[in-house]
Each structure stands twice: as C-alpha cells, then as structure tokens.
Amino acid sequence: GAWPYHDHSPSMMTSITNGLYGALSILGRHEKAPDKEFVVFFEGQVKLNTIDGLAFIGNTPTFRAKVGDLVQWDVLALGDDFHSFHVHGHRWDTADGSRDVQVVSPAASFRIRWKEDKVGTWLYHCHVESHMMNGMIGLYQVTK
C-alpha cells in the first residue's frame, strides 16, 4: 500500500507546511512494480487546497504515462478534510466493483492501479467542488 510519513516533533505543523512529508509505497510479495507511479497528497495550505503543496493547473504536478504502462496512483490526505479523488476518462477496479471516484479521509491513504489504454490529456482532482475550485486540480497526459 501507500503509507505517509511526516514529522511528529513539536514543530510538526511548520514542518509539514514546509514540505517535510512523503509517501512510502510497498509492493506485495508477487506484485509487479508499476511502470509509472504518481503520488498525490491532498492538503490545505495558506487558504488554498493543494496537491503536493501546490495549487492550480500549471503549478500542480503534470503526470505523464504511455499507453500500455501499468500506472499506480498513491493518494494520501493531510489535514482535517475529506477528499474524493477522480481522474477524468478512467475507471479502476476495487473489491466493490469498478469506480471513478474514491474518498480519502483525513490521515488516510489508498493506492489504485490500471493498465493505461487511453491517449489524451485528462484532469485529476478532488471531486469536492470547492476544493477543486480552490486549487486541488492537475493534468494527466497519456501518449502512445
């Protein structure tokens, strides 16, 4: 799975605001490593909703893959808000069936995977509309 790490000292909030956090990705014993792995941290900073500490297209990470790649998204939440992760034009399988939105609660994480089969430029974002409109949106580009 995807596991967050961050500072737990008395200066924890200052450290997190300054980017002292990250993610560990652990593969299962017989699990293939992805061709592309994307880390998405949803959090609030300086009155903005951010992805990896950045807000709005042009600042947030633009993730890139090619058709045929096994892609993995590690989605994590810092702070007190619930978020809903969504990638336009894509669905993924879960134990409960196929979906295109998945909720991540405060201090939680999940990982999703799929074999890429669609060329295009897609939005990825938090599907809580006020979060998206306040910066929590980025681009995902797939080429042949």
The helix/strand/coil state of 101 is strand
Encoded tokens for 11: 């200066």
Which stretches does DSSP call E strand in 15-108?
21-25, 36-45, 48-51, 62-66, 70-77, 83-87, 92-94, 97-99, 101-104
Per-residue model confidence (pLDDT) at position 20: 75
- pLDDT per residue over 68-110, tens digit each? 999 999 999 998 999 999 999 999 998 889 999 999 999 899 9
| Mean predicted confidence (pLDDT) in 109-129 | 97
- pLDDT per residue over 21-56, tens digit each? 889 999 999 999 999 999 999 999 889 999 999 999
Per-residue model confidence (pLDDT) at position 18: 75
Residue 15 has pLDDT above 90, yes or no: no
Per-residue model confidence (pLDDT) at position 30: 95
Q: Output the pTM of the full model.
A: 0.91
Q: Specify the DSSP class assigned to residue 55.
A: -
The helix/strand/coil state of 14 is helix
